[in-house]
Amino acid sequence: MHDIQFEAGTLPGRAVLSVTGADAAHFLHNLLTADVEHLGEGQATLAALLSPQGKILFDMLVLRQGGGFLIDCAAGQRADLAKRLAIYRLRAKVEVAPRDDLHVSVSPGPIPGGYRDPRSEAIGWRVAGPEGRPAQGYDTARIALGLADSAADLGSGEFFPHEANLDQLGGVNFKKGCYVGQEVVSRMEHRGTARSRILPVRLEGDAPPKGTEIRSGGKQVGTLLSAAGRDALALIRLDRLAEAEGPLLADGVALTVRKPSWARYDVPGAA
């Protein structure tokens, strides 16, 4: 595992929504996968809004601040997320608003007014504030740590929370009450049926395009996702990884699968 390093700055691919009002905590808690009601002031959690079939429609970081909540989400998904929240609002005393005055910035160390990224201490701190120069090397750092990105990796309606490791990164609370898609997520947890996981891989050559199949001995083992240099993320079938008898190849480029420091599941043959 190489050192995780990046330069502080703004993430242009992220945007902010505010959720305020007397019912804001209860509203979000009943919709999202994470425990929102028990967040303290200045605390954040990874969370997702799912489809009824249990797939991630939107993943986000939720920060409790100033009596309401700030949602750090993919910039390209913000408008659709706001619309979806509005559909569920009904008669709740909640206001959902885009915050164009706020930009998401990251730093390897503490940042004024910021909070530690709840997914992993190694990916540093985040803050919603004024726009600064773009962060440098952040994608390389997050990929090396095995952290999937909303836009670059997950999209919308493609992955279950377990596949995106939300269960490992504090993004799912299995003790809370119902939320959209909860039955599917609970069943996967209790039956241990998460066969596929997004994992970091190390390539021995230039990264093939996103979507390239990873194969071993004629069998597909996974699919390549986002890449930065020789590091990439991939959706890996753990059962097929365990059965792989030859090298793992993506369009002829050899690779090794790595086990992230936060993973509490077995990754067969991982570096």
Residue 90 — pLDDT band, cuts 50, 70, 90? confident
Model confidence over 102-152: pLDDT tens digits?
Answer: 999 999 999 999 999 999 999 999 999 999 999 999 999 999 999 999 999
Model confidence over 214-263: pLDDT tens digits?
Answer: 999 989 999 999 999 999 999 999 999 999 999 999 999 999 999 999 99
pLDDT at position 194 over 90: no
The answer to whether residue 122 sits within a structural domain is yes
Q: Tell me how far apart the alpha carbons of residues 154 and 179 are, in angstroms, rounded to a whole number.
A: 20
Q: Residues 67-80: what's their mean pLDDT?
A: 97
pLDDT given for residue 193 in this prediction: 75
Asked if 225 and 232 touch (Cβ cutoff 8 Å), the reply is: yes
Query: Are 74 and 132 within one domain?
Result: yes
Boundary of a domain, candidates 131, 146, 161: 146
Bridge partners for 223 per DSSP: 213, 235
Query: Are 50 and 138 within one domain?
Result: yes
pLDDT given for residue 233 in this prediction: 98
The total of other beta-carbon atoms located within 10 Å of residue 32's CB is: 27
Angle at 260 between CA 258 and CA 264, to 5 degrees: 115
Q: Tell me how far apart the alpha carbons of residues 144 and 106 are, in angstroms, rounded to a whole number.
A: 16
Model confidence over 94-113: pLDDT tens digits?
Answer: 999 999 999 999 999 999 99
Residue 124 identity (one-letter amino acid): G
pLDDT given for residue 3 in this prediction: 60
The model's pTM is 0.95
Boundary of a domain, candidates 111, 146, 181: 146
Cα–Cα separations (whole angstroms), residue 170 to 146, 152, 199, 221: 14, 21, 17, 27
* CATH number, domain with residue 245: 2.40.30.110
- Residue 138's domain comprises 9-146
Cα–Cα separations (whole angstroms), residue 113 to 62, 63, 121, 225: 15, 12, 17, 33
* CATH number, domain with residue 69: 3.30.70.1400
pLDDT given for residue 227 in this prediction: 98
DSSP 8-state secondary structure symbol assigned to residue 81: H
80: CB partners within 8 A, 6+ apart: 58, 156
Query: Are 138 and 204 within one domain?
Result: no
The answer to whether residue 131 sits within a structural domain is yes
The domain total for the chain is: 2
Model confidence over 23-49: pLDDT tens digits?
Answer: 999 999 999 999 999 999 999 999 999
DSSP 152-176: III-SSS--TTTTTTTTTT---SSS
